[in-house]
Amino acid sequence: MTRTTLTIATGVALALGLSACGGGSDPLATSSSSAGGSGASGSGGGITVGSADFPESKLLAEIYAGALSAKGVKVDKKLGIGSRETYIPALKDGSIDVIPEYSGALDRYVNKDAKAQTSEAILTELKGALPAHLEVLDPAKAEDKDAVVMTKAKAGELGVTSIADLKGKAEQLTIGGPAEWQSRSYGIPGLEKTYGLKFKGFRKLDAGGPLAVQGLKNGQVDLANIFTTDPAIKVNDFVVLQDPQNFFAAQNVLPLAVKGKLDAKGKEALNAVSAKLDTQGLTDMLTKVSVDHKKPEDVATEWLKANSLG
């Protein structure tokens, strides 16, 4: 998830890549939890889990925090940090130690020459391109890709089912997405390069959040960047345009961590999360957060208990 990086009418700001997946509110919004002992390496003895500023990232961060706490690791949380442009430096300066990420979007962020498309190839390419102080742990089967989304009415009016169908029509259309989409290779520049699209305009919205959803519904934008696990797609009967050129690469959820901060027990806890997390489960949890308005921490706790991880 472009996230590059993941959501309907709930408070959300910008995302990843994820793919999935910019900006954010208070970059150091902090809470903490612990369960006896540190259980982690590093000078502080504990682990600070961060998240980007969109619901799925916050949910995943709560899952990571809960899994670590269940193993006796002292955990602090700094949620809603913002985009990679904000949280990647935070991993370097010690503000956070681990954050949920999306393989394809992260690969393209750290490697301007990234070409891999499949989950396996992306992981190999990503590991070879990461800064020396960072590492990724096991990826989950769960995948949340960026997508170009339209209302069913607009797609029918234009007769489009894929991004390729926008050729010759994009000049009359406005697309919405997070601010960083204007410059990222897996945003507007990439769509132009891969599909030859030049849009009439770009409207700065959030990363698949309520602004993107409302922008589509009220006609402020004709297309928007929304993540494939977003329940808003089903609730609003939106159309996800097919991606015949595989512009949006695989976006498996995985932990991004500072090397040396997680000991064997901490890595085991997060790898166990990845082993259990699949796309349908992630979508179901996100629905509880975005549609049923449950707290991400409560949904995370429920999932961890159901999977014998918390």
Mean pLDDT of 14-38: 37
Q: DSSP label at 140?
A: P
Q: What is the pLDDT of residue 186?
A: 78
Q: Which of 259, 4, 233 is nearest to 114 (CA)?
A: 4
Mean pLDDT of 240-249: 92
pLDDT tier at 22 (50, 70, 90 boundaries)? Answer: very low
Q: What is the pLDDT of residue 183?
A: 87
Domain boundaries, the chain: 30-143+249-306, 146-240
pLDDT digits 0-9 by tens, 204-224 = 998 767 888 999 999 999 999
pLDDT tier at 134 (50, 70, 90 boundaries)? Answer: very high
Give yes or no for a contact between 226 and 149, defined as CB atoms under 8 angstroms apart.
yes
Mean pLDDT of 45-55: 92
Give yes or no for a contact between 46 and 247, defined as CB atoms under 8 angstroms apart.
no
Same topology between domain 30-143+249-306 and domain 146-240: yes
d(CA 166, CA 196): 9
Q: DSSP label at 280?
A: H
Domain topology for 146-240 = D-Maltodextrin-Binding Protein; domain 2 (3.40.190)
Please provide the CATH number assigned to the domain covering 30-143+249-306: 3.40.190.10
Q: What is the pLDDT of residue 208?
A: 66
Both tokens assigned to 196 = 């030859």
pLDDT digits 0-9 by tens, 167-192 = 999 999 999 998 888 988 879 999 99
For residue 131, pLDDT beyond 90: yes
